[in-house]
Amino acid sequence: MKNLKILTAICVFSFITAVSSSAAVIDRIVAVVNDDIITLSELNRDLESYMKRAGKSFKGTDREKFTEQLRSAILNDLINRKLVIQEAKKIGIVVTDGDIDDAIEDTLNRRKMSMKEMKAAIAGDGHTFEEYREEVRQHLMKMRLIGREIRSRITVSQKEIGDYYRQHRNDYEGKEAVRIKQILIIIPTGSDIETKQKLKENAEEILKRLESGESFSTLAAKFSQGPAAKAGGDLGYVEKGLMFPVVDEIAFKLKTGETSKIIESPIGFHIIKVIDKRGAGVKPLDSVREEIMRKIGNKKIERKFQKWLKEKREGSLIEIRL
């Protein structure tokens, strides 16, 4: 019966492809996962999105090698996603349109973005808003599956928490630190004065938009060339002395919630915003107990989930046609 369903899906897909053969791009099946198929268009859509962000620094043979490795990794991820959705549906997990709306609203609030800004960012990644909603639906199904099948069976003992605290004591004896978001415009090596001036003007234009009230996270995702750009430029907590001196000095002078002017360092032009501050000194175990429990629990969940995925793959009909 399963083979009959797969054959039917392939025949229907082949018919659709034949009807649209005059199109510029002819789609095809690149993998079969039990009763589902993965198409070349699905694979290429995700590949193009990743290449926009990660492929800029690769050229020639290196780019070809990187692309092939990335294509294989993305296909593997698509297969895993199919298995997760299949299992979630099998055990009756349902995600409604209202659930998706609530998740998107929560994301907008956390990132301080408008719906218009979100849709623009999604389009910039080469996706439609409906595709994004589908990604949210699949993510929610995965989280609920993990909650039901894995998280509910995970326990963390007080001994494990105490052992972790002692083994990672340095993590809780940090220096003074600031949590910052950053927009970085990189100055390419060997740039002339004219190029540097143009890049500085670009940074100044971004600063004007920030000062007029636009979202730091949105502008970072769109313009920053630094780490964590897609996460709104959030670098997390950075201890004193770990940044370029000129950036470090300003970061620790700013008040929580304040945004800097343009800061020029040896690598480019920075705009930073201080999200939070914490002082130096040892944190007592009681104050970090919940944090440690989450860390240990999340590691256990990830290990169990990877084991679960391996077992599902071994017990499934998976055929790769790449």
CATH (domain of 211): 3.10.50.40
Least confident segment among 49-63, 185-199, 238-252 = 49-63
End-to-end CA distance of the chain: give it in Å, rounded. 25
How does pLDDT run across 258-293, given as a tens digit for each residue? 999 999 999 999 999 999 988 766 778 998 999 999
Domain membership of residue 181 as a residue range = 175-278
Residue 252 lies in a domain: yes
| pLDDT range class, residue 6, cuts 50, 70, 90 | very low
Number of domains making up the chain: 1
Residue 71 lies in a domain: no
**Average pLDDT of the segment spanning 188-214:** 92
Is residue 115 within 8 Å of 107, Cβ to Cβ?
no
Is residue 27 within 8 Å of 17, Cβ to Cβ?
yes
Residue 118 lies in a domain: no
The rounded mean pLDDT for the chain is 87
Predicted pLDDT at 90: 94
* Per-residue burial over 126-145, b = 16 or more CB atoms within 10 Å of its CB, e = otherwise: bbeeebbbeebbbebbbebb
Residue 292 lies in a domain: no
Residue 161 lies in a domain: no
**Average pLDDT of the segment spanning 15-37:** 68
**Average pLDDT of the segment spanning 28-56:** 86
Query: What phi-psi label fits residue 175: left (phi over 0), alpha (psi between -120 and 50 degrees) or beta?
Result: beta
Tell whether the model's pLDDT for residue 27 goes beyond 90.
Answer: no
Residue 227 lies in a domain: yes
Tell whether the model's pLDDT for residue 203 goes beyond 90.
Answer: yes
Residue 230 lies in a domain: yes
Residue 271 lies in a domain: yes
Predicted pLDDT at 121: 87
Cα distance between residue 256 and residue 258, in whole Å: 6
Per the listing, tokens 């349109």 go with 97
- Looking at per-residue confidence, does 253 or 54 come out higher? 253
Predicted pLDDT at 170: 78
Phi, psi of 307 (to 5 degrees): -65, -40
